[in-house]
Amino acid sequence: MEEKEILIIGGGPGGYVAAIRAAQLGGKVTLVEKEELGGTCLNWGCMPTKALLRGVELLETLAMSKDFGIQVGEVSVDFPRLLARKDRAVKTLVSGVAGLMKANGIEVVKGQAKFLSPQEIEVLDEQGGKVPYRARKIILATGSLSADLPVSGARGPNVIDSNGALQLTQVPESMVIIGAGPIGLEFGTIFAALGSRVTILEMMNQILPNEDPEVASALERSLRHFKIQTHTNCQVQEIREGSEGKRKVLARTEKGDVAWEAQQVLLAVGRKANFDGLELPQAGVRFHKKGIEVNEKMETNVPGIYAIGDVTGQILLAHFAMAQGTVAAENALGHEARLERRVVPRCVYTLPEVAAVGLTEKEAQEAGYKLKVGRFPFAGNGKATILGERTGMVKMVTDAQYGEILGVHIFGPHATDLIGEAVLAMRLEGTAADVGRAIHPHPTLTEPLMEAALDVTGEALHIPPPKRG
């Protein structure tokens, strides 16, 4: 049986980053991947969706061209070409990861891995060959799959998940999306902008149920620009055949039972940890419904076996998987690393975007803080006005006693890029004054963050002063 020092199962952002970090620290690394390097993120998640969104952004920019005195001819969408560009972008990124594996001396084995015992793995290759390996340290990074919706008809025709949405070859005339989390809203924006009539149904009482209600309701209003209809407090009961080959979605709402018909139904009701075929019990690795149990060092209950990324069921985001991957690799190589999960950004790629880090105002209140909150609208920002993208705001939640930033919530242009500054400020335990007094470049979209920080003490510069006395 071949002996390996560090064996990683799964080549998504968790697994491939763990592989690079382990190699940097001098480890001899083998990475087993059954499909393509890059995992969900590069092949079915973060990247292909953003490639489609880039096309949608271009459409939106072209729609503004008249305002700028620029005449363009009739604008139309060539969906197959948009898909082809998305595929090329994905291919470039996947081969980039393959290049990084090679450059770091990481051995990549193609095949599906399963446990034979705590130290033994068997890899089933594409030709049906079975190769056993023994490894000193094993890192599990097998990711997640779309969660099922437990209602009748959820596996019927024209009912797809996010992978199915990325395989559509035509823009559907209409689409009902079940779930108004980041994935549902992202696809809603893409298909509505490309011409679908989109309806989004959400079981909870707001879209983006985990985000600040102010941000969620501002986003909800702006989705109307794409004629997206949203319905909250809406519990889907059944999906069945409708008229003219459409699907009919029946739901219980506050107003009674309601039905919607659409050509496609997209299920975006979350993701579930994937340990399909891994045979975890053979290794004695403890797991529950949400994922594999790990401590802050990414150790499972079995010495020498670590788990990272979506399969741990903690925060199902690529950057979190990468951070976990780094920690696991360092511990596997004998270093002492712990995951810090106080400051993890969350991004929603709508137009405009949403991004947040830390606590919402309500969460901070519930945690017992006395708060001071600052806000600043993008309408008060020069750069946003120049860009013609004035919708949105920055909200900063701080602890009234020391001014420490507890949470930042952005809805507006390039929110997902802008949140990086808030991440750093919070990581350094910065205060509103630190951000408010830091000289920000002008004119940029970063200034609203500085202004929201100044607004914490009522000192924002580019909005009318608050009423005093």
Shortest distance (Å) from residue 324 CB to ligand FAD: 8
Hey, which residues between 316 and 345 contact ligand FAD (CB under 6 A)?
A: 316-319, 321
Q: Which of residues 403-462 bind ligand FAD (CB under 6 A)?
A: none
Shortest Cβ 278–ligand FAD spacing (Å): 5
Question: Which is the catalytic residue, given 319, 440, 442, 462?
Answer: 442
Q: What is the DSSP annotation of 8-55?
A: EE--SHHHHHHHHHHHHTT--EEEEESS-TTHHHHHHSHHHHHHHHHH
442 among known catalytic residues = yes
**Which residues within the stretch 143-202 sit at the binding site for ligand FAD (CB under 6 A)?**
143-144, 162, 183
Check if the beta carbon of residue 235 is closer than 8 Å to that of residue 257.
no
What DSSP state is assigned to residue 195? Answer: T
Q: Contacts with ligand FAD in 82-141 (CB under 6 A)?
A: 112-113, 141
Q: Is the separation of the CB atoms in 12 and 143 below 8 Å?
A: yes
Smallest gap from residue 18 Cβ to ligand FAD (A):
9
- List 27, 39, 313, 412, residue binding ligand FAD (CB under 6 A): 39
Q: Quick one: 26 exposed, middle or buried, by C-beta within 10 A (0-12, 13-18, 19+)?
A: exposed
Residue 29 vs 454, nearer CB to ligand FAD: 29
- What is the closest distance, in whole angstroms, from the C-beta atom of residue 432 to ligand FAD in the complex? 27
Closer residue to ligand FAD (CB): 32 or 356: 32
The answer to the question of residue 49 lying near ligand FAD (CB under 6 A) is yes
Q: Which amino acid is at 26?
A: G
State the CB neighbour count (10 A cutoff) for residue 214.
16
Give the CA count within 13 Å in the CB-facing half-sphere of 407: 22
Site for ligand FAD in 263-302 (CB under 6 A): 274, 277-278
Residue from 7, 19, 32, 108 touching ligand FAD (CB under 6 A): that is: 32
Q: What type of residue sits at position 303?
A: P
**Candidate list 4, 6, 11, 339; residue touching ligand FAD; CB under 6 A:** 11
Minimum Å gap between C-beta 35 and ligand FAD is 4
Residue closer to ligand FAD by CB (options 107, 404) is 107
Nearest to 247 by CA among 302, 199, 290: 199
Nearest distance from residue 335's CB to ligand FAD, in Å?
Answer: 21
Are 446 and 440 in contact by the 8 Å Cβ rule? The answer is yes
What is the token pair recorded at 305? Answer: 């076996």
Q: What kind and span of H or E run contains 454?
A: helix 447-455
Nearer to ligand FAD, 181 or 448 (CB): 181
> Which residue lies nearer to ligand FAD by CB, 324 or 431?
324
Q: Which of residues 349-388 bind ligand FAD (CB under 6 A)?
A: 349
DSSP secondary structure of 358-427: E--HHHHHHTT--EEEEEEEGGG-HHHHHHT----EEEEEEETTT-BEEEEEEEETTHHHHHHHHHHHHH
Q: Indicate the DSSP class of residue 287.
A: B
**In the complex with ligand FAD, which residue's Cβ is closer, 190 or 445?**
190
Q: Just list the catalytic residues.
A: 442
What is the binding site for ligand FAD (CB under 6 A)?
9-15, 32-35, 39-41, 44-46, 49, 112-113, 141-144, 162, 183, 274, 277-278, 309-311, 316-319, 321, 347, 349
